[in-house]
Structure 1
């Protein structure tokens, strides 16, 4: 009956875990779909903008031709008149006629301006939008590769957690079975020693064969009991180690899941948006510059759009995207420890059987984390510098086309007026090639940074949990020892004056981390860190209570030395200084005392 209850409980735990993992997997799939949908919306938006500007360019071209026909029609009438001959000589006409000629010249200028505007739409704005569409698809593809890899790593962690949990449950079940068998064996040994009447049956009343049989049976039962006792101890140790491994893996998994949802997903969204907002801003600013230069009177209406263009903000769009799909991007609940059959232990057990192993593992994690943090920091700096360079490439101020509307007395074609435009620059192909090469390098470094930070996050979670467990075990031992000392020396202690927080905290930190450190109290620490720790104590805080802050042990020792050095009344009073010096020549310790 007990086995059936255990099996049912195990199935319930596994079903609950599989349901939680299924929800996480569904979220990951939904995230990919949301990112693809967002990119499709952008591509569709860009396509609509291209169609809009293409149609507008056709309208502007037709309008330019009509204006040119209008101006040519009335210019042909005036070329043979006296007024026109007089205008060619000294350009001195009556004000109404002068206004008429200026009006015709203005129409011709407007015709050229609208032809220039049409050319800018076709060969500048639309080309920019095409590039943005191509960039968005390319960035989505690379971001999906990174997202897929991160999700694969996350699922591997969940599978590893499932395996470790199953192992822990198996070993704990074996421990319970071994305990039951041990109790049965002990009960059989007790029954074998008791006779039928309830007392110990005398052997001298038996035959020799029966005596030998009884003795052999007793030896076998005792041997079986010892064997089962050894099996129980072995299974209990395995269960202890499996539970510790389960807790460590669970903490690392929760840390990785939290980091993925809180830090990695926003970064991936930023990668999908890389250059999109600034490039779209440049394209629309080109349109704004052309329209504002063409017709200043329309500036009021265009400022509304300009304000919207200036308000392009990738961070705000990212927040909007996260707000639109809360179910896809909200972190799942933390994985909680699932005790097996009423197991009361829910924390890392730093028992003597595994304390040496945990200490060795903690030291290995510290060494590995130190190396990884240095390497990942270098990768982060390289990635940041590359991102800055890439952003600089996408925020060039080349959208001002006011020079395209500069008129000269000589007659020039429309194409010559925009010869310095966006497309005709010789450096365009090289600039785009450099941009794509920089993008590739940035994504490589970004991938390395995410992989390194994920590994650091997992190792740091295990390190912190192990360190906390070891510290709690040490404090428990220290409290037990100090309690005994206090009871034996209570008559010699002065309880009216408390130990300063700085002294108590520094000594505790040195006891935990510095007893094996070479050069303690001799090697100077970082002056900056010493000042920071000292200032924190002066504000009433304890900067050494947080186990996550890895302070330099030499700096902590330096704070303690600085405190004793700055006491108004030193530990060794000044009036006793000469007496202490006079004791130095005495060879005997008893004489010195």
Structure 2
């Protein structure tokens, strides 16, 4: 395949990935819009209900007044009659007259009942609906914050997948190039050996001997060149292997996170938006039902239809209905497939002997980390569940029965009706509302914590499962073994450390190979005895970490590296520019802040600048494994800040430390923009995918 075809194929692969990510991003935006639209529809519904009950309250009030006027009009007419006087004495009237008075009393009773009904609508039901509307808007806002964070995390994961895919493609391209060079050298060597082995008689004996010498020298040179190309090819192939493994791990974690978000997180988020909505609406409508049913039993047949609808309020079914209404927004996308690069058909973790121990160690670390996370997350889940139960008890008290508001005095003349005194007139209402909102805040805090923990477990579990499967199956890929000689390798190792101190380079290489996923790296102290042993060995000019068979404690190796920089006579960051570096942190724009630090760092001696560049490239790489090692850029800055950028004695150590940490964090995150590249500053460059024989 020609270079142009390869480039075209790479572009097509990247375009396909970007298209898929674009579709996911569009889905995420659509999800936010759907949730907002759902809440807008709820708020509008609640507003319509409020307007309805307000108008109905006005109608009931007017009806009550008209009934009272009607009763008073006819009562006034009968007060001067003999019948009325007789009625006041003994109420011993003819049955038609008695019915007439009972009818007038019933009208007065009905007038008071409708006044009570109007009061319940205006001061009870409408207030409940107002609270539900306020709660819906508040719950949407908090749910959107969590949704936005989850979507941001998802996009970061997709960006990380893109980065590791590009790294794998780059190393695989280098492997293909190295293989082509190796084949070319082998062909040239074959031609030279063919010419050297051909017979012939030369006219001059001396010339023939000299030409043989030249041909032998040429053959030896070609053989050396072939060995060099072969070693380079093997090194690049191993880098490709590790990069592909990392890509496949990230791919599996990404697919697991995307699947979890769509299948588990979205329903939970919708439930959060619905929190208390259905139960509160049910309570408000049950208040209405109780009033109407108590007012007029004959209307029960018509109200049973509404009661059935109220009984049918079901958040789970509504959530399912919402998901069904917008299938394009909430349906999980297709799984991200492995994008093979230029014919590389290996699409699973390769557990070859070179990386077997590393993968086994990583699997063990993942198992330990997962066990801890699952216990912690289970505790959070229990707290979350208990808080949900408490919140539900707060939002659904059994106070919707207002039949007591329709009690009347036994006297036919004095008909009394109590007004609404349940939901609103209780002194504890404000306190109850405050407690509800406080419990809501704690509920969302625990919900967020549970989601973050379960997301991390999902990612790590995906990596764990694919690693376990690869190791169990013993998948082994064909690869050329490199012959390594201790003496020759030692000389090469010495050549590679001309710009980087041997201790720094060797410790970083060892951590790269064995400790990127080690939990608490640089934060947990190692054995002081082992730290001193490693340090003393380096001081004698030896490299105690060069032997692959050695099993040094990662925390001790990290401690040696920290101790080296702490023991420097002059810190790597210029002390006289301390205030200038701190002032850079005040810039809110991260690009401007990085450029400010860059200008200051260009004044550092070039030899020191090479070492700093190498160190911070490594720290940046280490921070990319923070999900597993718990050391993000901020935590690494806390560890290395006092060592690399110590606060002068004339300044307040405590007040300056936060700014120092922010400077180091900025350099870790933006080291590419701060330090010159190899064109401006020649010297060794840190590589992410190191090999065990990189410095041999």
Which of the five TM-score ranges fits, normalised by the shorter chain? 0.7 to 0.9
Could you tell me which runs of 5 or more consecutive residues in structure 2 were left unpaired when the two chains were aligned. 586-696
Aligned residue-pair number = 584
- Does the CA contact (< 8 Å) of 1:154 and 1:257 recur in 2? yes
- SS of the residue corresponding to residue 475 of structure 1 reads coil
Distance in 1 separating the partners of 2:177 and 2:121: 81
Q: 1:526 to 1:254 in 2, by over 3 A?
A: farther
Q: 1:578 to 1:285 in 2, by over 3 A?
A: closer
Distance in 2 separating the partners of 1:119 and 1:382: 41
User: Which deviations, in whole Å up to 9, do the C-alpha atoms of 1:44-88 show, x marking residues without a partner?
Assistant: 111111111111111110100000000001111111222222222
User: Which deviations, in whole Å up to 9, do the C-alpha atoms of 1:509-534 show, x marking residues without a partner?
Assistant: 99999999999999999999999999
Q: 1:543 to 1:126 in 2, by over 3 A?
A: farther
TM-aligned CA deviation for residue 94 of structure 1: 1.5
Q: Which structure has the larger Rg over C-alpha atoms? A: 1
- Does the CA contact (< 8 Å) of 1:68 and 1:111 recur in 2? yes
Distance in 2 separating the partners of 1:536 and 1:205: 56
TM-aligned CA deviation for residue 398 of structure 1: 0.7
Distance in 1 separating the partners of 2:117 and 2:550: 61
User: Which deviations, in whole Å up to 9, do the C-alpha atoms of 1:522-563 show, x marking residues without a partner?
Assistant: 999999999999999999999999999999999999999999
TM-aligned CA deviation for residue 489 of structure 1: 47
Distance in 2 separating the partners of 1:59 and 1:569: 87
In the alignment, what sits opposite 1:349?
A: 350
Distance in 2 separating the partners of 1:241 and 1:583: 38
Q: 1:252 to 1:53 in 2, by over 3 A?
A: same
- SS of the residue corresponding to residue 530 of structure 1 reads helix
In the alignment, what sits opposite 1:532?
A: 533
- SS of the residue corresponding to residue 85 of structure 2 reads helix
Q: 1:563 to 1:12 in 2, by over 3 A?
A: closer
With the length of structure 2 as denominator, give the TM-score of the two structures.
Answer: 0.66
User: Which deviations, in whole Å up to 9, do the C-alpha atoms of 1:268-309 show, x marking residues without a partner?
Assistant: 000000000010011111111111111111110111111101
TM-aligned CA deviation for residue 91 of structure 1: 2.1
Distance in 1 separating the partners of 2:544 and 2:299: 62
Distance in 1 separating the partners of 2:158 and 2:8: 22
Of residues 521-530 and 418-427 in structure 1, the stretch that sits farther from structure 2 once superposed is 521-530
Of residues 336-345 and 250-259 in structure 1, the stretch that sits farther from structure 2 once superposed is 336-345
Q: 1:509 to 1:42 in 2, by over 3 A?
A: farther
Of residues 5-14 and 538-547 in structure 1, the stretch that sits farther from structure 2 once superposed is 538-547
In the alignment, what sits opposite 1:152?
A: 152
Of residues 494-503 and 167-176 in structure 1, the stretch that sits farther from structure 2 once superposed is 494-503
- Does the CA contact (< 8 Å) of 2:358 and 2:513 recur in 1? no
Of residues 448-457 and 569-578 in structure 1, the stretch that sits farther from structure 2 once superposed is 569-578
Q: 1:536 to 1:100 in 2, by over 3 A?
A: farther
Q: 1:423 to 1:303 in 2, by over 3 A?
A: same
TM-aligned CA deviation for residue 155 of structure 1: 0.7
- Does the CA contact (< 8 Å) of 1:193 and 1:200 recur in 2? no
Q: 1:276 to 1:171 in 2, by over 3 A?
A: same
Distance in 1 separating the partners of 2:560 and 2:256: 33
TM-aligned CA deviation for residue 136 of structure 1: 0.4
- SS of the residue corresponding to residue 494 of structure 1 reads helix
- SS of the residue corresponding to residue 348 of structure 1 reads coil
TM-aligned CA deviation for residue 202 of structure 1: 13
TM-aligned CA deviation for residue 335 of structure 1: 1.1
- Does the CA contact (< 8 Å) of 2:234 and 2:481 recur in 1? no
Distance in 2 separating the partners of 1:509 and 1:412: 98
Distance in 1 separating the partners of 2:533 and 2:78: 87
User: Which deviations, in whole Å up to 9, do the C-alpha atoms of 1:120-145 show, x marking residues without a partner?
Assistant: 11100000000000000000000000
Distance in 1 separating the partners of 2:130 and 2:453: 36
Of residues 552-561 and 23-32 in structure 1, the stretch that sits farther from structure 2 once superposed is 552-561
The Cα RMSD (Å) is 15.8
Distance in 2 separating the partners of 1:306 and 1:235: 73
Of residues 502-511 and 261-270 in structure 1, the stretch that sits farther from structure 2 once superposed is 502-511
Q: 1:517 to 1:261 in 2, by over 3 A?
A: closer
Matches within 5 A, 1:244-255: 244-255=245-256
In the alignment, what sits opposite 1:203?
A: 204
Q: 1:90 to 1:487 in 2, by over 3 A?
A: farther
TM-aligned CA deviation for residue 206 of structure 1: 3.3
TM-aligned CA deviation for residue 183 of structure 1: 1.1
Q: 1:6 to 1:579 in 2, by over 3 A?
A: closer
Distance in 2 separating the partners of 1:130 and 1:274: 16
Q: 1:105 to 1:423 in 2, by over 3 A?
A: same
- Does the CA contact (< 8 Å) of 1:471 and 1:512 recur in 2? no
TM-aligned CA deviation for residue 337 of structure 1: 1.2
TM-aligned CA deviation for residue 219 of structure 1: 3.8
Could you tell me which runs of 5 or more consecutive residues in structure 1 were left unpaired when the two chains were aligned. 585-593
TM-aligned CA deviation for residue 389 of structure 1: 0.7
- SS of the residue corresponding to residue 267 of structure 2 reads helix
